[in-house]
Structure 1
């Protein structure tokens, strides 16, 4: 049985992501491409009808300033992204 300090127990305790709190959050790419490892959410894209849920965010690479647009839930994939700068 895992104790409270194992990685699986620690990740299970994390609060779920909220798209409204993603602005300026920091992310690390698990497998960097072109030396782009660290990213910052620079924009949360508001949908046209305001009643619709937020779906897209823009990430900016710290190294190159290249901007990526992706679905905010893609950030929850631990095989691709880690929260914070590791």
Structure 2
């Protein structure tokens, strides 16, 4: 498991361990917050296609799914 600081997620880069639709490299483009201003999720944008995928930011901690940086 990665240790992540949610406040430093914006514009961070990620690599999918098992790419789908040739989308392997992603960047966090938006942080999603609740009413108490806590980060609840983020939007990953695929580099190759520009598609956006909203996810729970805690999913990025899973080494079996995500690697930090572009590998």
Q: Same fold (TM over 0.5)?
A: yes
Alignment of 1:64-75 (within 5 A): 64-75=49-60
Which ranges of structure 1 fall in alignment gaps of 5 or more residues? 1-10
- What SS is found at the alignment partner of 1:74? helix
Q: TM-score, normalised by structure 1?
A: 0.77
Instruction: Work out the CA distance in 2 between the residues paired with 1:42 and 1:53.
Output: 17
Stretches of 4+ aligned residues off by more than 3 angstroms: none
Instruction: Work out the CA distance in 2 between the residues paired with 1:69 and 1:59.
Output: 6
- In terms of fraction of residues, the more strand-rich structure is 2
How far is the alpha carbon of 1:18 from its aligned partner? 1.2
Q: Which has the higher contact order (CA 8 A, sep 6+)?
A: 2
Instruction: Work out the CA distance in 1 between the residues paired with 2:17 and 2:48.
Output: 15
Instruction: Work out the CA distance in 2 between the residues paired with 1:78 and 1:46.
Output: 24
In structure 1, the residue matched to 2:41 is 56
Which ranges of structure 2 fall in alignment gaps of 5 or more residues? none
- In terms of fraction of residues, the more helix-rich structure is 1
Q: TM-score, normalised by structure 2?
A: 0.92
In structure 2, the residue matched to 1:33 is 20
In structure 2, the residue matched to 1:3 is none
In structure 2, the residue matched to 1:82 is 67
